[in-house]
Chains A and B, each alone.
Chain A
Amino acid sequence: MKISKEKFGQAFDALVADYKVIAPVSDGSGIAFTEVKSFSDVKQDYLNSKLPPKAFFFPQHEKLMSYKKEGKDVTVKSELKVENTILFGIRPCDAKGMLLLDKVFKNDQYTDPYYYERREKAVIIGLGCTKIAPTCFCSSFEISPAGSEGSDLFLIDLGDSYEVEVVTEKGKALADRLALAELTADEQALVDKIKSAETPSKIDVSNTTSKLDKMFNSPYWDTLQEKCLGCNVCSFSCPTCHCFDISEEVRKNEGTRVRTWDACMAPLFTLHGSGHNPRDNKKTRWRQRLMHKFNYFVHNNGSMSCVGCGRCIKSCPVNMDIRQVVDGANKAELVVE
């Protein structure tokens, strides 16, 4: 099915009345997902945003609760606020990233209401990639640059119109508001061509998890991380990184408990009250980072926690390239223990 961009734009503008609509916007130095009021504000031709759209479910800084002390008494109030949201223009890598985050924020015992309630009230309109950046490597993880996995409604740009794929019930509810038409044979051919594309850059991860099973004590970690500065760019720009810190912001007798993004690369991340730190150097922190994404997460959740969006590669100040890091692990010699 398809819809002309003009008609889609009109429907989009009508949705703004019922939903908070988030879409890619050019902010001068790149693309950012921002709330928009009209389709004309949306940047339609873009590679991907600088920061991943995870922030709409898991903001960098969010209030969990607030409290007020009066003498010895205290009153506590949840600060969970949820809105009906549409995320438009989500790339397949990021849509997959959200599916992975879903597994984190709802584990075998707990559901994180702050993430989940927002997530449940959000509709993801995915947009297939027709251009592929040199840092993209999503095909390594069985993600197609024009794949609809993780989206509720999925669009492919055909020039004057979008091909529309209804993926979920939520997507169907939105699609009902669109005047859809049939694709022509030529358009179908174009869609097929776009859908069959792969990222030119791919890494082989077929044996990475089992290889890493045996690499905890490998000397590979000794030199791998020498050039890493230990900043948080890779984690903050990652669509699947989910580590956070909880702290308190206090003013006189009132305060809020907030959570903020944190990262396993931060030296104080695992520092105990006693002064002991199980990951007190970059080597152990890098091992954790790679193991978590390519081994622990696989064992716990059945898939790798990397979607090949390439943001960490693009943003790294010292050009640490996760593709090379994984490749190096694949090739590293095993030490006999």
Chain B
Amino acid sequence: MNNIINDIRDKARQLLAEGKVDVVIGYEKGSLPLKATPFFAHSPAEVDSLIWDETCENNLATYVAKTPGKKAIVAKGCDSRALAVLLQENQLVRDDLYIIGVSCTGVIDQRKIVAEVGEILEAGINDGKISVKGMAGDKEYLFAELKDATCQTCRYPNPVLEDVHLGETIAVSQEAPAFADVIALEEQSAGERQDYFKEQMSKCIRCYACRNACPLCYCQECFVDCNSPRWLTGGVNRAENLFFQAGRVLHLAGRCVDCGACTRACPQGVDIRALNRKMTKDVYTMYNHEAGISEDGKPALNEYTTNDPEQFLVKE
């Protein structure tokens, strides 16, 4: 890991010193244990703050289009997939972008720790083991136990698009995605699913952290802010919240790269990903499409074939 960090810093230093980019977007150590925070290095002097480890959970592709000038970005698999979709949708200029690719073994889901040992006072990562001192006790975890749900099903830990690759690459299984999580929900009755999503949606406070953390939610004016027509009332209740989440998820259908940034950003622990994953599964099974796995190609809903399935039609 240390070698990667040094490599990232060297690369960032070189890019900034040579004037190839104006800013390097990466991570630095956050203010809380086991937290990394996005970091914008504007000069070679700042690059020594850059880090890379299992706490680098944000999807940095979110910042790329909003950051002026030429920029380099430290990209893990999901970040690069988001960049690929943004490029497909002409949101980025490839020449203004330098992608520092790193392979990712997954990020830590802090909620699992907090649920067991309370607020984290201190923590250290060593050799795939995470030792935590919490307010309600101490515990040592294996990284595998803490891996974020998104990362457990990740099929693209290696960047799909990069200008340089730092560190090793990760061997990936060639099997088709299983979508066990989606199937588990699908196997429930409609009533059970309705109850599940009612409960999830009643937690939402409409802070829009999910939307803003999402690298592919880049609309100038989001439909929730739109005044005429006014899609949503000011109400914050499970029906309105489901309208918001369903509207957003449908807008991301065929584009979502399943990075999990929305779910990790949610301060209320809403299972937003359950909606996105359903769309991802449908798009994969019906159209054999995965979003953002290469720079060319189009999002699934921008294309069609003449024999797309249409079992959804009325019987008449």
Contacts and interface: CB of A to CB of B under 8 A. Distances in A.
A231 B31 contact: no
Interface string B89-125: 0000000000000000000000000000011110000
B190 interface: no
Contacts of B209: 229, 231-233, 317
Nearest to A246: B234
Interface in B207-234: 207-209, 211-213, 221, 225, 230, 233-234
Interface string B27-38: 000111101111
A321 B33 CA distance: 13
B57 to A, nearest CB: 9
Contacts of A232: 206-209
B212 A249 contact: no
Given A51-B205, A318-B213, 15 more contacts: A29-B203, A47-B119, A131-B135, A227-B40, A230-B212, A236-B207, A247-B230, A258-B233, A317-B212, A317-B213, A318-B38, A319-B32, A319-B36, A321-B30, A323-B31
Interface residues of B, number: 42
Contact of A227 (B39, B42, B234, B236): B39
- The prevalent SS among residues of A at the interface is loop
Interface in A304-337: 313-315, 317-321, 323-324
Contact of B135 (A133, A317, A319, A321): A133
B40 A134 contact: no
Nearest to A258: B234
Given A133-B135, A233-B267, A268-B225, A318 B234 contact: no
Contact of A249 (B31, B32, B233): B233
A223 B36 contact: no
B62 interface: yes
B177 interface: no
A20 interface: no
Interface in B30-77: 30-33, 35-40, 42, 58, 62-63, 67
Given A29-B269, A135-B119, A319-B31, A61 B211 contact: no
A226 B41 CA distance: 11
20 contacts: A30-B269, A47-B119, A61-B237, A131-B135, A134-B121, A223-B40, A226-B63, A227-B40, A229-B62, A231-B265, A232-B207, A233-B207, A260-B235, A266-B225, A315-B267, A317-B58, A317-B209, A317-B213, A318-B38, A321-B32
A60 interface: yes
B215 to A, nearest CB: 11
Interface string A66-89: 000000000000000000000000
A49 interface: no
Contacts of B255: none
Contacts of A260: 234-236
Contacts of A324: 31
A140 interface: no
A231 B212 contact: yes
A236, A259, A318 — most chain B CB neighbours (10 Å): A318
B38 A227 contact: yes
B213, B221, B265 — most chain A CB neighbours (10 Å): B265
The 10 closest A-B pairs by CB, nearest first: A317-B265, A260-B234, A315-B267, A319-B37, A321-B31, A229-B212, A227-B38, A231-B209, A319-B30, A231-B212
A220 to B, nearest CB: 14
B264 interface: yes
Contacts of B234: 61, 245, 247, 249, 258-260
Nearest to A230: B212
Interface string A232-247: 1100110000000101
A250 to B, nearest CB: 9
B147 to A, nearest CB: 19
Nearest to A320: B37
